[in-house]
Amino acid sequence: MEFQLSGDNQPIFEIHRVSGEENIGVNHIAFQVADVETAHRELTTRGVALPNGPSFVPSTGRTNLNFRDPDGWRLQIVDARRKPPDPAATH
């Protein structure tokens, strides 16, 4: 489920059931970029260690890049281009 205030450039809050390695509370902070693939290349070129590449999430219709900062906090880069979510997919 997503919540967003009306108006331009408002943050989106996504609320979903905890799964996998997630904990209750703030799970991660996401930053939207024009193109996740380009952001991935730029970060790796600058020496940022990214264990995995971008991946498409059918349940949200988004392509994401997940990684952790040096303190272990989960961060995510989200592609601005979004496909319609697949209602049959689960989070």
Residue with tokens 């009306």: 6
Model pTM above 0.85: no
Position 3 scores a pLDDT of 72
- The closest of 29, 10, 31 to 80, measured between CA atoms, is 31
Average pLDDT, the chain: 83
Evaluate if residue 11 carries a pLDDT over 80.
Answer: no
pLDDT (average), residues 4-33: 77
Position 90 scores a pLDDT of 60
**pLDDT tens digit sequence for 28-72:** 888 889 999 999 999 999 998 898 999 998 888 889 999 988 888
Structural domains in the chain, sorted by start: 2-79 (3.10.180.10)
Position 26 scores a pLDDT of 73
How many CB atoms are closer than 10 A to CB 16?
A: 13
Q: What is the 3-state secondary structure (H, E, C) of 26-84?
A: CCCEEEEECCHHHHHHHHHHCCCCCCCCCEEECCCCEEEEEEECCCCCEEEEEECCCCC
Task: Check: CB of residue 26 under 8 Å from CB of residue 16.
Answer: no
Cα–Cα distance between 64 and 56 in angstroms, integer? 6
